[in-house]
Amino acid sequence: MLASSLLNPGGVVKFEAAMAVALDGPNGLTATSAGIGLRGEALKATRIAYEMADELAAKGLDAGRWFAGLAVATNPIGAALVGGGAIATDVYLNYDGNWEKWLVDHPGMVDTLIGMSPGMLSALGIPVDLATTLDLLGATYADGEAVTTRVGDPHHYGAPDNLEDLMEGLAKRNTGMDAGDTGPSNIDVKIIKNANGDVTGYVVDIPGTKNWNAPWEPQSANDSGVNVDAMAGNNTVLQQGIQDALRKAGAHDTGAPVMLVGHSQGGIVAAQSTSDLISNGYNVTHVVTAGSPVGRIDVPSNVQVLSLENRNDIVPHLDASDNPDSPNRTTVTFDNQTGTVGGNHKIEGNYTGVAEQLDNGSNPSVNRFKESAGAFFNGDDTNSVTQNYHVARKGVNDHP
């Protein structure tokens, strides 16, 4: 510009005027950028407002259920006659007395009853909310120390290619049907490798509850105590076992991304484990849960979560909370009514079925999740291996 001003001073003046208008005029870049900045701040404020509204709505729902529980405990006879009588009438008139069928047709009742429990306890002189109730219940179950043992040799089972493969692998782990399974292993670690033999990721399969036990009878790393402790936000022997298994599989050394896949209890522990695993140097990037109550569990914002929930499965209702609506969490709800609690909750033909539909569908949120999980899909079947691990409580069942 300086050089050309000697040859064409008039043109330079016109250019400078045009630049001034383009930059600082009413529709110039300066005004436009300021407008974009203001619009961006407005969008941030809107997002915050929505999040606050969601949080207030959730707290309001919790409070409403709390007061309902207080009212029931204060006047149990009246509540039984009015509420209980209406439900019993519905069951016997419309469900031929089948309480299980009525319950799976009204799974929201589980949310209501669990949400009412703190109010009922408070009426008895124990002032608590739901989080405190879980803490108190968790304290009744001693957790203990994990003993993690590798079971058998690594075997080639095939790397997952999609969501259906993830659910099928989880189903095999849940029933002990995985190829090469030689013992009572609690979890599988799939070491995903490419054609060159390089590790691209790790997939951990975590099944659901295997033992329903009282607090004074601790059993396996898949027992009732793990359920309560994990929902209360506590570390558990199963979580310790997952970390031990990942370390033995080399995940800490390679730094490759880790996906945790869990059904029921397994999904609870998977979601609850993310923060601790990351703080201990494991590159957890993805979580997939199936039929798991994870709505009250905080997951780091850089971990992508996909939750599959059958609307007629009562287990995801056990936390009396909807899953957060956040950029890193996608929840897929579907209908598959079998008429039984177990049928609505099982993996095979239920969560495997919806996974297949999602693989063939066009849901943008699900597809974004799948695209972000490329490190775990399409591995080389010849090089990828699956390793079984038995996780036990020290001094309780610490033998393979």
Tens of pLDDT along 327-380? 999 999 999 999 999 999 999 989 999 999 999 999 999 999 999 999 999 899
CA distance 293 to 279: 23
Residue pLDDT, tens place only, 158-169: 899 999 999 999
Percent of the chain with pLDDT over 90: 45
Mean pLDDT calculated for residue range 54-77? 53
Whole-number average pLDDT of the chain: 81
For the chain, give percent helix, strand, coil, nearest 5: 50, 15, 35
Q: What is the pLDDT of residues 195-206, one digit of tens each?
A: 999 999 999 999
Q: How confident is the model at residue 135 (pLDDT cuts 50, 70, 90)?
A: confident
Beta strands in the chain (DSSP E): 146-155, 187-193, 199-206, 258-263, 284-290, 304-310, 329-334, 385-393
Domains within the chain, CATH numbers bracketed: 62-139 (no CATH), 146-393 (3.40.50)
Q: Is 389 helix (H, G, I), strand (E, B) or coil?
A: strand
Q: Given this model, what pLDDT does residue 93 score?
A: 76
Residue 82: band (very low, low, confident or very high) from pLDDT cuts 50, 70, 90: very low
Instruction: Report which residue type is found at 192.
Output: I
Mean pLDDT, residues 387-392 taken together: 90
**What does the pLDDT read at residue 215?**
86
Write down the pTM of the prediction.
0.80
- β-bridge pairing 304-310 and 329-334: parallel
